[in-house]
């Protein structure tokens, strides 16, 4: 399939793996890229710029295809060494960066000078337009369904994607709630040029995370996520577990007096325990509603091949058939 996104990134299929903390290691990024999509290493999971340089080198050994690096700009007082991370990306010859969190404007000149394509993840049309105005090459439009941080506007993709299509000139991918061929074809119909998946790629053979996490995703339904940190305007969609329940109790009890310090036990530094050690109640962890559509743990290649062949059938048989007056399959 050829879209403005496959052309922009030099990939075979319009499928991107979103950056994921303690999931987006070289193994997953390489597997997605080898399967014809765009794999993405999560920059900040690497403790230093040097570690990121090593991770990029490791990924390069596992694939000759293009892959990207995610740079998440966090609202922290002690900012990570972003200039150092960007040097590692440039020196490592990476040609795609997925930015997220905050406006990436101050870092764009260096990335652009190095010939790097930037796709910025946004949860609203206004942020997408801003990304376009500052010179991003594409956006990833992340609907309310998404795992991770859906923003505070709560607009789901059935509305957000066509709204983005009405306003944007640069290409965009649909993100949040994407799992299969139906997601891809619907996204294309709504004006996107591809899709970005997070939760779905966690439940793959190559995702270098504990089996408990993969099993929890397969076992979960679309009713099993919760929104936490709403009172802090830092909303995160996470899987329901003991830590989530505890955190929500604190939110209820403290109301608008809630401070980040009150929930440190549930949110700070918990990812390695969950993703690597499989301690499922060690804290809250991002997971999308799309868990309800995930029933297996395929390889990335099996997953992407299945999506592309079913998308073909969906378009050529079901949709084309409807137009031809045949009864839908
Ligand atoms: C476990 C997990 C960790 C994530 N970590 C990050 C991150 O560090 N930076 C980021 O930009 N997005 C992060 N995301 C968001 C994903 O990149 C992607 O936008 C999101 O998962 C899309 O929604 P979906 O899960 O419904 O596919 C994370 C998502 C998950 C599930």
List pLDDT tens digits, range 181-215: 999 999 999 999 999 999 999 999 999 999 999 99
Residue 286 CA to ligand 1 center (angstroms) comes to 7
Q: What is the pLDDT of residue 164?
A: 98
Which ligand 1 atom sits closest to the C-alpha of 44?
A: 8
* Residue whose CA lies nearest to ligand 1 atom number 3: 20
Q: Are strands 236-239 and 225-228 parallel, antiparallel or unpaired?
A: antiparallel
* Residue whose CA lies nearest to ligand 1 atom number 20: 198
Low-confidence ranges of the chain (pLDDT < 70): 77, 327-329
* Residue whose CA lies nearest to ligand 1 atom number 19: 18
Which ligand 1 atom sits closest to the C-alpha of 201?
A: 27
Q: Are 68 and 94 in contact (CB under 8 A)?
A: yes
Residue 288 CA to ligand 1 center (angstroms) comes to 8
Q: What is the pLDDT of residue 329?
A: 57
Quote the CA–CA distance of 259 and 321 in Å, as a whole number.
56
* Strand blocks (E) in the chain: 15-17, 39-42, 67-72, 96-100, 117-122, 138-142, 172-175, 195-197, 225-228, 236-239
| The pair of three-digit structure tokens given for residue 57, joined into one six-digit string | 């080198």
* Residue whose CA lies nearest to ligand 1 atom number 11: 100
Determine phi and psi for 262, rounding to 5 degrees.
Answer: -65, -20
User: Taking Cα atoms as reference points, which of 189, 191, 186 lies closest to residue 166?
Assistant: 191
3-state secondary structure of 175: strand
pTM as predicted:
0.97
Residue 249 CA to ligand 1 center (angstroms) comes to 25
Q: What is the pLDDT of residue 327?
A: 66
Residue 105 CA to ligand 1 center (angstroms) comes to 21
The residues lining ligand 1, judged by C-beta closer than 6 Å to any ligand atom, are: 18-21, 23, 42, 70, 72, 100, 121, 142, 145-148, 175-178, 196-200, 285-288, 290
Could you tell me which residues come within 8 angstroms of residue 106 by beta carbon, excluding any fewer than 6 positions away?
none
Q: Are 14 and 1 in contact (CB under 8 A)?
A: yes
Residue 166 CA to ligand 1 center (angstroms) comes to 25
| The pair of three-digit structure tokens given for residue 45, joined into one six-digit string | 């999971």
Q: Are 173 and 194 in contact (CB under 8 A)?
A: yes
Residue 122 CA to ligand 1 center (angstroms) comes to 12
pLDDT digits (tens, 9 = 90+) for 259-304: 999 999 999 999 999 999 999 999 999 999 999 999 999 999 999 9
Contacts by residues 154-162 (CB-CB < 8 Å, ≥ 24 positions apart): 155/123, 155/124, 157/187, 157/190, 158/190, 160/124, 160/125, 161/187, 161/190, 161/191, 161/192, 162/190, 162/191
Residue 48 CA to ligand 1 center (angstroms) comes to 21
Quote the CA–CA distance of 66 and 64 in Å, as a whole number.
7
Mutate to test the pocket of ligand 1, among 128, 148, 284, 294 (most ligand atoms within 8 A of CB): 148
Mutate to test the pocket of ligand 1, among 40, 198, 217, 271 (most ligand atoms within 8 A of CB): 198
| The pair of three-digit structure tokens given for residue 63, joined into one six-digit string | 């694939």
Query: In the chain, what are the domains?
Result: 4-207 (3.20.20.70), 212-289 (no CATH)
């Amino acid at each position: 399939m050829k879209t403005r996104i496959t052309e922009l990134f030099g990939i075979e299929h319009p499928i991107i793996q979103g950056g994921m903390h303690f999931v987006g290691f070289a193994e997953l990024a390489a597997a997605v890229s080898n399967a014809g999509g765009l794999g993405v290493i999560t920059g900040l999971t690497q403790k230093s710029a040097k570690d990121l340089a090593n991770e990029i080198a490791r990924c390069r050994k596992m694939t000759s295809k293009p892959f990207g690096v995610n740079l998440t700009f966090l609202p922290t007082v002690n900012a990570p060494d972003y200039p150092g991370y960007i040097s590692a990306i440039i020196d490592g010859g990476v040609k795609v960066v997925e930015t997220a969190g905050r406006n990436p404007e101050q870092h764009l000149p260096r990335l652009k000078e190095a010939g790097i394509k930037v796709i910025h993840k946004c949860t609203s049309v206004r942020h997408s337009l801003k990304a376009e105005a500052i010179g991003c090459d594409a956006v990833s439009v992340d609907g309310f369904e998404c795992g991770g941080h859906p923003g505070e506007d709560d607009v789901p993709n059935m509305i957000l994607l066509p709204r983005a299509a009405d306003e944007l000139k640069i290409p965009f991918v649909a993100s949040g709630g994407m799992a299969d061929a139906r997601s891809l074809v619907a996204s294309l119909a709504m004006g996107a040029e591809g899709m970005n998946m997070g939760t779905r790629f966690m439940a793959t053979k190559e995702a270098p995370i504990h089996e408990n996490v993969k099993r929890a995703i397969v076992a979960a339904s679309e009713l099993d996520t919760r929104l936490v940190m709403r009172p802090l305007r830092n909303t995160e969609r996470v899987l329901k577990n003991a830590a989530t329940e505890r955190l929500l109790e604190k939110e209820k009890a403290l109301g608008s007096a809630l401070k980040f310090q009150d929930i440190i036990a549930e949110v700070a530094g918990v990812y390695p325990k969950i993703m690597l050690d499989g301690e499922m109640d060690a804290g809250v962890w991002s997971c999308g509603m799309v868990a309800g559509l995930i029933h297996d743990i395929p390889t990335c290649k099996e997953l992407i091949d299945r999506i592309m062949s079913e998308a073909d059938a969906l378009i050529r048989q079901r949709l084309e058939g409807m137009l031809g007056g045949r009864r839908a399959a």
